[in-house]
Structure 1
Amino acid sequence: MHSFPQHLLDGHAHFMSGRYAREKGRIRDMAEAGQTPTTMIIACCDSRAAPELIFDAGPGELFVLRNVGNLVPPYEPDGNQHGTSAGIEYAVKVLNIANIVIMGHGRCGGITAALDPKFRPLDKGDFIGKWLTMLGDLPSQLGQNGLLTPSERQTAMERISIRNSIRNLRSFPYVAALEEEDKLAVHGAWFDISTGELWVMNESGDFIRPEL
Structure 2
Amino acid sequence: MTSGSSSSPLSPPSIRRRGLMLVLSSPSGAGKTTISRALLAKDANIVMSVSATTRPPRPGEVEGEDYFFIERPRFDAMVQGGELLEHARVFDNHYGTPRAPVERALADGRDILFDIDWQGTQQLRQNARADLVSIFVLPPSVGELERRLRSRGQDSVEVVQKRMAKAGDEMSHWPEYDYIIVNVDLAGSVAAVEAILAAERLKRERQVGLADFVNGLRGQG
- TM-score interval (norm. to shorter): 0.3 to 0.5
| Structure of higher RCO (CA pairs closer than 8 Å, 6+ residues apart) | 2
TM-score normalized with structure 2 length: 0.32
TM-score normalized with structure 1 length: 0.33
